[in-house]
Amino acid sequence: MKALVYNGPKLLSYCDVNEPRPGQDNVLIKIEAVGICGSDMHAYLGHDERRPAPLILGHEAAGIICGGARDGERVTINPLVSCGNCSACRTGRENICPDRQIISMPPREGAFAQYVTMPERNLVNVPTDYSLDKAALVEPLAVGWHTAKLATNAIDANMEKKALVIGGGAIGLATALALKAMGITELTISEFNPLRREYLLEHIDAKIVEKTENSFPIVIDAVGFASTRSVASQLVSPGGIIAHVGLGDNADGLDIRRITLQEITFIGTYTYTAQDFKDTAEALFTGRLGLLEWIEKRPLSEGEYCFRDLLANTVAAPKIVLKPWV
């Protein structure tokens, strides 16, 4: 089969590799669409020691089951594989299972390929009339859904229904859409890239700004650098919530004194639970998260150029979806 293989920092090759074989409890999926995630970019730059070369990246995928009792079913893939036995798994928090695995990280190859194998329990059916290109977005949207759920559950019910999302990429946009679906009525997205800001203005009902000095009960950091954590610390209202979902760097930025003196809650939020993934899929398929007309589709064979364009900030769309069979 054809796959896009990571061979080292800024090195990708589109080449022939062995087709995976489904083992016990796994099924083979023909990949029809797979998104490029920020974590793929971190690996591409050589910033993720958990993803050593050579490796097939990619974990935001949808496709068609090949073989077995579910042959031909259209599915979207939950890429997180948990043990099912630990206390986290037993209480529905599979995302923090100490033995969790994810495709695109050893020992599991990713979905920048024509085929991948997954446990059946990780597959959610896609309606026959729904686009598999958009169904591949369930994974990043579930990250935003989980973030929005944690933030809205933690906020005082008497505070204003206002939120700031720092970062207008796919995760920031996903969180913004989930916040709206969960009752946030006044939404602002801060995005530094003017090309992205212009694109967002055409595709989402929110205030799109480069920066703001207003305060917000909920602030989502979907970038995760010291500079954005600093902004979040400054703009969150007293008694408010900072939800940190970006993984840009691991240094400084938080105003711990202000967080302490003004009883600000800081929430680290990682991926999603299995139930979050299913809830996100249902919200997507029933239209609660909008039309999702903010993806750019390109052939998997052009994947190397997509990463270069993303690195150069010349891509307006929040998400590039790669097509392995084009």
Place 23 in a pLDDT band, splitting at 50, 70 and 90.
confident
Q: How far apart are CA 103 and CA 282, in angstroms?
A: 23
Alpha helical stretches, state H, 117-169: 132-135, 138-154
Percent of the chain clearing pLDDT 90 (strictly above)? 95
Burial of 47 (0-12, 13-18, 19+ CB in 10 A): middle
Superfamily (CATH) of domain 141-268 = NAD(P)-binding Rossmann-like Domain (3.40.50.720)
Mean pLDDT of 11-18: 98
- Which tens digit of pLDDT belongs to each residue from 128-186? 999 999 999 999 999 999 999 999 999 999 999 999 999 999 999 999 999 999 999 99
Mean pLDDT of 53-76: 97
Q: Residue 163's pLDDT is what?
A: 98
Mean pLDDT of 86-106: 97
Place 58 in a pLDDT band, splitting at 50, 70 and 90.
very high
Percent of the chain clearing pLDDT 70 (strictly above)? 100
Mean pLDDT of 183-200: 95
The amino acid at 174: A
Mean pLDDT of 82-108: 96
Instruction: Decide: pTM greater than 0.85.
Output: yes
Q: How far apart are CA 124 and CA 135, in angstroms?
A: 10
Q: Residue 213's pLDDT is what?
A: 96
Q: How far apart are CA 75 and CA 59, in angstroms?
A: 14
Q: Do 141-268 and 2-137+292-323 have the same topology in CATH? A: no
Domain ranges of the chain: 2-137+292-323, 141-268
- Which tens digit of pLDDT belongs to each residue from 30-41? 999 999 999 999
Q: How far apart are CA 147 and CA 270, in angstroms?
A: 8
Q: Residue 160's pLDDT is what?
A: 96
Q: Residue 139's pLDDT is what?
A: 98
| Residue range 2-137+292-323 in CATH 3.40.50.740 | no
> Does 203 or 318 have the greater pLDDT score?
318
Please, what's the largest Cα pairwise distance for the chain? 59
Distances (CA, A) of 326 to 2, 15, 59, 114, 270: 11, 15, 19, 10, 33
- Which tens digit of pLDDT belongs to each residue from 211-269? 999 999 999 999 999 999 999 999 999 999 999 999 888 889 999 999 999 999 999 99
- Taking each helix axis as running N to C, give the angle between helix 274-285 and helix 138-154, from 0 to 180 degrees, rounded to the nearest 10: 110
- State yes or no: pLDDT of 25 exceeds 90: no
Q: End-to-end alpha-carbon separation of the chain, Å?
A: 13
Mean pLDDT of 285-299: 94
Strands (E), the chain: 2-8, 11-16, 26-35, 55-56, 60-66, 74-77, 80-81, 101-102, 115-119, 123-125, 162-166, 186-190, 207-209, 216-221, 236-244, 265-268, 295-299, 319-323
Q: Residue 202's pLDDT is what?
A: 87
- Taking each helix axis as running N to C, give the angle between helix 170-181 and helix 274-285, from 0 to 180 degrees, rounded to the nearest 10: 80
